[in-house]
Amino acid sequence: MAAAIWLEWRESNRMHVKAINERSRLTIGRKPGSDIVLADPLIPREQAFIYFDGGNFLVRNLSKNNPILFNQRWTIAHDQIVALQPGDTLTFGYLKINITASQSPSSHRRSQVIFKVRCPACHRILDHELNDCPWCKASLAGAEALIYHAEGKQKVDSEQEDIVDDSASI
Ligand SMILES: [Zn+2]
């Protein structure tokens, strides 16, 4: 299955959809010129960077002052990276972005959260129980935590509304 996810959010009473594929690298923030410009004054000028690396879609928080709420439960701090799966949500200010799949994921598996870390030296994604990177031997103390949501349930939104497809601006 080709790697692609969609970002869906409601702003100004419209549903917005933006497709992300393996080649996408996009910024989210209040700053004009961001790939996704969000008008909420609570959102910093540069909030998030979403990209594909190591087989996963990743989000990095660019803001020193504004954490991102992940799945309405975890906080993504400045420079922390989290892997995104369909079913996840990212909340910036009052605005929630739903991560959805372009193809239906199998729906009968239980949700499972897996924690990994990224080696600060070689950036490989590793088991969080390791003390040292097996590749480059760097210490993993203080390495960035990655949260993998191994299974996600697809968001079903039966509301019929105007859909604004922002994908053309990638
Ligand atoms: Zn390493």
Residue written as token pair 């490989």: 124
Question: How far is the centre of ligand 1, averaged over its atoms, from the C-alpha of 48 (Å)?
Answer: 25
Strand order in the sheet with 25-29: 36-37, 25-29, 48-53, 56-61, 81-84
List pLDDT tens digits, range 60-92: 999 999 999 998 888 899 999 999 988 999 999
Residue 37: how many other CB atoms lie within 10 Å: 17
Residue among 8, 48, 7 at smallest CA distance from 30 = 48
Question: How far is the centre of ligand 1, averaged over its atoms, from the C-alpha of 25 (Å)?
Answer: 24
Question: How far is the centre of ligand 1, averaged over its atoms, from the C-alpha of 139 (Å)?
Answer: 8
pTM: 0.61
Question: How far is the centre of ligand 1, averaged over its atoms, from the C-alpha of 58 (Å)?
Answer: 18
In this predicted structure, the answer to whether residue 155 has a pLDDT above a threshold of 80 is: no
